[in-house]
Structure 1
Amino acid sequence: MKPALTVAALCLALSSPAAAQNAGQIASVQRGASCPGCNLFQAPLSGLERSGLNLSGARLRQADLSLTVMNRTRFANADLRDVEAYGGVFSSSNFSGANLTNASFVGAYLDGSAFSGATLTGANFSGASLERATGLTQARLNQACGDEATRLPRGLSIPRC
């Protein structure tokens, strides 16, 4: 290969996403299938109504989960960084060990969900209901934010956004 072509090929390779989404896996979840460990990067799942899915260990980074109903869904150890979950309903879901860095759960319903070991750095829970959530600690909530409408388990508080 000529040097100019080698440089052009290298530039093209570096500008492409390293691990782009998997359209087939996204379509499978949209149809209601569980997909543990799947690559659902930037998945358009807004408005989806599916309960009891297993998305443990899945890469959902930057996915749109706004206005979804995903009760009893397993997100354990999933990558949920930068997720938009505005108004989503996730009652009794499992977020244990999940990375929710900079995720937006504004107005979400998360009662009964498990958060043991979850990373909440920069997560926005303004207006969210977490009253019966488990596994939340004050130290972890201090890394997130909410507002006066955020509902938390008794004895816990959250910094204002």
Structure 2
Amino acid sequence: MKPILTATVVAALVAIALPAVAQNASQIARVRGGASCAGCNLFQASLSGLEARGLNLSGARLRQADLSLTVMNRTRFSNADLRDVEAYGGVFSSSNFSGANLTNASFVGAYLQGARFSGATLTGVNFSGASLQRATGLTQSRLNQACGDEATQLPVGLSIPRC
């Protein structure tokens, strides 16, 4: 005897198998226009080259977003999902990454002077060539989970494994 799947069961199985909405285009457009968007879904957003200072993106989902060559000084990324972000050459001076998940993010050549990292997850982060001398909230134990190179500039007394 073969079981018969009803339309309701099939619909339920399809709903379970499909991923959640990947991103919110209107929220991405708002941020591209320079507006704050705390808690927004900016998954895989292309924000490369954006110049927007002082935004509130706290708690936003920026996973796999492209923040390359952005200027986002004084931006609040606290408790945001920044996993797998590409932030090559970005300028994030005095930005707040406290409590953010930066797992496997790339901040190669980024300017992070005065940025705050208290409680941030730094596992797999690439800080090669990044400028972090005046960054706060960095600990040796968390930096040991990240990597950099001879050009990485860190606060006095801290070091980082080579990538």
Query: Given the alignment of the two structures, is residue 53 of structure 1 paired with residue 55 of structure 2, yes or no?
Result: yes
Letter in 2 for 1:32: G
Query: Given the alignment of the two structures, is residue 130 of structure 1 paired with residue 132 of structure 2, yes or no?
Result: yes
2:104 maps to 102
Which of 66, 75, 83 is matched with 1:73 structurally? 75
Letter in 1 for 2:96: N
Unaligned runs of 5+ residues in structure 1 are: none
TM alignment of 1:1-161, pairs within 5 A = 3=5, 9-10=11-12, 12-161=14-163
Sequence identity percentage: 82
Q: CA deviation at 1:9?
A: 3.8
SS of alignment partner, residue 156 of structure 1? coil
Q: CA deviation at 1:18?
A: 1.6
Q: CA deviation at 1:136?
A: 0.3
Q: CA deviation at 1:8?
A: 5.4
Q: CA deviation at 1:17?
A: 2.0
* Alignment partners' CA distance in 1, 2:137 and 2:50: 26
SS of alignment partner, residue 123 of structure 1? coil
Question: Cα RMSD over matched residues?
Answer: 1.4
Q: CA deviation at 1:7?
A: 6.7
Q: CA deviation at 1:13?
A: 2.9
TM-score (norm 2): 0.93
Letter in 2 for 1:40: L
TM-score (norm 1): 0.94
Q: Aligned pair count? A: 160
